[in-house]
């Protein structure tokens, strides 16, 4: 019998030949600085659990409490009968935290970006987008069917140039950027971008997935970091990374959020978060408010780890945040390096095309507030030893 899906098997075989095929690794423990993965104890530099909240007892307890009171699921989408008082409380809490009028929580950061951009723009509109923006932004842009104008990474004057060319065009303009770029760990030049957006009357939107809980006072994000309150119309954040649970949120004016309640498709057509998720998120914001020392430790760990990597001779790219790429060039080498590190007790992901451009493959590391300095020193020792063996370091 002819198998109409045979082309997929051929593609998989090609990935195996190229050395870029990846088997899923399985955690047999909670996500922690040292995790059990594929039956092996490894230092985990592969998670986004920046503040160590994913397995925090207070979050676990809050999830259980909310489950006992409200049940395991919500039974409907938000606009039908799936909005519990818990959901509204979380949105109010985040809006206050971010110093904005209102907030809506989505099932994930991905749906927050994709659902928002596609809801507010139409085919006659224009999007000015950093070339390294996240896939969920790109998908949202495509879903909107607006014209997409990509500008070189972090180049605010190039963004201004695009908007200048579009001045005579009708249609709305959206200037959109990641706050912290997920593969490189560098920060958007938000002050310059805001100025450009203001000059051309564009909507300014930022995706703070990797800045939430990391940048700004108590982890309020990039807008707070650069003190640009009131000048960014749309702020997206995630509850899946530093916050330690799952979800995405969008912050802005009351009417903008109301509009999303009526038009954002993931909000209208996909069931709301289970109570456990909402309860755990509330507990996470409580901790972020009361324990700013976690973020301080995240940053001191970051500085220590980066300095040790650089002293060992690694190329860590343009990173300014806890995301530190170790640049190796070819995707095949990145994946081999990652597998060899794992055998030596270090979990760090190899990343190649199409997630990053061809020739810019890397092993990405993310330190957290809960790693000890000893664990980080041991990680650098493993990285250097394996890299020398593989001729990545001379
Ligand atoms: C991870 C990520 C997202 C998606 O967030 P989830 O909550 O995991 O869906 C969106 N944008 C950026 C920049 C990210 O890194």
Q: Quick: pLDDT tens for 226-259.
A: 999 999 999 999 999 999 999 999 999 999 999 9
Residues 262-314 pLDDT 10s: 999 999 999 999 999 999 999 999 999 999 999 999 999 999 999 999 999 99
> 155: Cβ–Cβ under 8 A, 6 or more apart, which residues?
none
Q: What is the mean pLDDT of the chain?
A: 97
Residue 152 in tokens:
């070189």
Collapsed DSSP state (helix, strand, coil) of residue 204: strand
pLDDT of residue 394: 79
pLDDT of residue 20: 83
Higher-confidence residue: 171 or 2? Answer: 171
pLDDT of residue 323: 98
pLDDT score of 162 more than 80 = yes
Residues 366, 322: contact at Cβ < 8 Å?
Answer: yes
Does residue 109 have its Cβ closer than 6 Å to ligand 1?
yes
Tell me the C-alpha distance between 375 and 346, whole Å. Answer: 10
CA distances to 98, 158, 210, 298, 301 from 304, rounded to whole Å, are: 29, 34, 20, 10, 5
Q: What is the arithmetic mean of pLDDT over 347-367?
A: 94
Residues 312-336 pLDDT 10s: 999 999 999 999 999 999 999 999 9
> 289: Cβ–Cβ under 8 A, 6 or more apart, which residues?
97, 218
Within a 10 A sphere around the Cβ of 191, how many other Cβ atoms?
14
**Best of 94, 134, 236 for a ligand 1 pocket test (most atoms within 8 Å of beta carbon):** 134
Catalytic residues: 182, 210, 241
**Best of 109, 137, 222 for a ligand 1 pocket test (most atoms within 8 Å of beta carbon):** 109
**Best of 182, 185, 205, 237 for a ligand 1 pocket test (most atoms within 8 Å of beta carbon):** 182
pLDDT score of 74 more than 80 = yes
Q: pLDDT-derived band of residue 19, with 50, 70 and 90 as boundaries?
A: confident
Does residue 186 have its Cβ closer than 6 Å to ligand 1?
no
Tell me the C-alpha distance between 369 and 48, whole Å. Answer: 11
pLDDT of residue 354: 84
Task: Decide the pairing of beta strands 323-329 and 361-366.
Answer: antiparallel
Catalogue all structural domains in the chain, each as residue range(s) with its CATH number: 18-47+292-389 (3.90.1150.10), 57-290 (3.40.640.10)
Residues 281, 130: contact at Cβ < 8 Å?
Answer: no
Question: Which ligand 1 atom is at minimum distance from the Cα of 182?
Answer: 15
pLDDT score of 189 more than 90 = yes
Residues 139, 114: contact at Cβ < 8 Å?
Answer: yes
Tell me the C-alpha distance between 292 and 175, whole Å. Answer: 31
Helix 190-200 × helix 156-165 angle, to 10°:
10
Closest-CA residue to 355 (of 347, 346, 364, 367): 364
Residues 376, 304: contact at Cβ < 8 Å?
Answer: yes
The burial class, CB within 10 Å (0-12 / 13-18 / 19+), for 204 is buried
How far does residue 46's CA lie from ligand 1's centre (Å)? 15
Residues 393, 387: contact at Cβ < 8 Å?
Answer: yes
How far does residue 165's CA lie from ligand 1's centre (Å)? 31
pLDDT of residue 14: 96
Closest-CA residue to 113 (of 225, 267, 223): 267
pLDDT score of 137 more than 90 = yes
pLDDT of residue 22: 86
How far does residue 47's CA lie from ligand 1's centre (Å)? 13
The burial class, CB within 10 Å (0-12 / 13-18 / 19+), for 34 is middle
Does residue 260 have its Cβ closer than 6 Å to ligand 1?
no
CA distances to 49, 61, 240 from 278, rounded to whole Å, are: 17, 12, 12
**Residue where the block lists tokens 């806890």:** 322
Tell me the C-alpha distance between 183 and 276, whole Å. Answer: 30
Closest-CA residue to 78 (of 261, 246, 250): 261
Segment (H or E) for 38: none
Does residue 240 have its Cβ closer than 6 Å to ligand 1?
yes
pLDDT of residue 1: 74
Residues 195-206 pLDDT 10s: 999 999 999 999
Q: Which alpha helices (H) appear in the chain, and where do they start and end?
A: 6-18, 57-70, 85-98, 109-120, 135-144, 156-165, 190-200, 222-225, 254-263, 265-269, 275-290, 293-311, 331-343, 373-389
**Residue where the block lists tokens 């195996």:** 16
Tell me the C-alpha distance between 145 and 123, whole Å. Answer: 5
Does residue 272 have its Cβ closer than 6 Å to ligand 1?
no
């Amino acid at each position: 019998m002819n198998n109409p899906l045979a082309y997929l098997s051929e593609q998989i075989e090609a990935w195996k030949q190229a050395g870029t095929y990846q088997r899923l690794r399985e955690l047999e423990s909670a996500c922690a600085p040292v995790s059990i993965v594929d039956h092996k104890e490894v230092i985990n530099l592969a998670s986004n659990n920046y503040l160590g909240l994913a397995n925090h007892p207070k979050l676990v307890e809050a999830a259980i409490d909310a489950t006992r009171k409200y049940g395991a699921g919500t039974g409907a989408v938000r606009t039908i009968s799936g909005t519990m008082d818990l959901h509204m409380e979380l949105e109010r809490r985040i809006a206050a935290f971010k110093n904005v009028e209102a907030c809506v929580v989505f099932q994930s950061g991905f749906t927050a970006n994709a659902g928002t951009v596609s809801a507010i723009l139409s085919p006659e509109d224009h999007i000015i987008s950093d070339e390294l923006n996240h896939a969920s932004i790109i998908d949202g842009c495509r879903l909107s069917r607006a014209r997409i104008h990509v500008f070189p990474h972090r180049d605010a004057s190039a963004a201004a140039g695009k908007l200048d060319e579009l001045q005579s065009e009708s249609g709305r303009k959206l200037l959109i950027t990641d706050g912290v770029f997920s593969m490189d760990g560098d920060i958007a030049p938000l002050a310059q971008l805001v100025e450009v957006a203001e000059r051309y009357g564009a909507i300014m939107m930022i995706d703070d997935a990797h800045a939430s809980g990391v940048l700004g006072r108590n982890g309020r994000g990039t807008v707070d970091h650069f003190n640009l309150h009131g000048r960014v119309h749309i702020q997206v954040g995630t509850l899946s990374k530093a916050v330690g649970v799952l979800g995405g949120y969008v912050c802005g004016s009351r009417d903008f959020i109301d509009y999303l309640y009526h038009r954002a498709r993931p909000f209208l057509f996909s069931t709301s978060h289970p109570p456990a998720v909402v309860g755990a998120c509330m507990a996470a914001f409580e901790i972020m408010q009361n324990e700013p020392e976690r973020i301080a430790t995240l940053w001191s760990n970051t500085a220590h780890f980066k300095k040790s990597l650089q002293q060992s001779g690694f190329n860590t790219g343009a990173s300014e945040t806890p995301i530190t790429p170790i640049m190796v060039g070819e995707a095949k080498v990145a994946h081999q390096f990652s597998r060899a590190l794992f055998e030596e007790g270090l979990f760090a992901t190899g990343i190649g095309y199409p997630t990053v451009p061809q020739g810019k493959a890397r092993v990405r590391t993310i330190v957290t507030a809960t790693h000890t300095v000893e664990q980080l020193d041991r990680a650098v020792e493993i990285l250097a030893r394996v890299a020398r063996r593989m001729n990545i370091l001379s």
